[in-house]
């Protein structure tokens, strides 16, 4: 008997409810502060740092009036062609693989 593929690999997070709790709280945080005291670690470390833009787009789709956290306005802008010498799509794909291995 064969196992279904969905039981072997995690599904891609596509809704605001499935975002990591610390990021969802940070995206929803009010009021926005300039200090970084409320900044979750996952916003700073690889691979989650590379996925911030994608996760913000998921949050923004569910919460159209949301504004990006202070100091992280760049997550609402289109991605650059290159990220540290690596094509952006490739860098994000590597980050996704790394994030899935860690879970």
What SS3 class is residue 27? helix
Task: Report d(CA 92, CA 77) in Å as an integer.
Answer: 15
Query: CA neighbours within 13 Å on the CB side: how many for 26?
Result: 24
**Residue segments in the chain with a per-residue pLDDT below the cut of 70:** 1-17, 30-38, 82-86, 102-103
pLDDT at 7: 61
* CB 42, CB 50: distance < 8 Å: no
Report the length, in residues, of the chain: 103
| Spatial separation of the C-alpha atoms in residues 12 and 30, rounded to whole Å | 28
| Residue 8, pLDDT score | 59
pLDDT (tens digit per residue) in 27-40 = 887 555 555 566 78
């Amino acid at each position: 008997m064969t196992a279904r593929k969905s039981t072997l690999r995690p599904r891609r997070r596509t809704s605001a409810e499935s975002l990591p709790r610390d990021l969802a709280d940070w995206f929803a945080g009010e009021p926005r502060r300039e200090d970084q005291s409320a900044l979750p670690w996952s916003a700073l470390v690889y691979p989650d740092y590379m996925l911030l833009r994608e996760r913000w787009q998921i949050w923004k789709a569910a919460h159209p009036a949301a504004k990006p956290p202070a100091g992280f306005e760049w997550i609402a802008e289109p991605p650059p062609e290159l990220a540290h010498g690596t094509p952006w799509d490739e860098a994000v794909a590597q980050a996704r693989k790394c994030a899935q291995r860690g879970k």
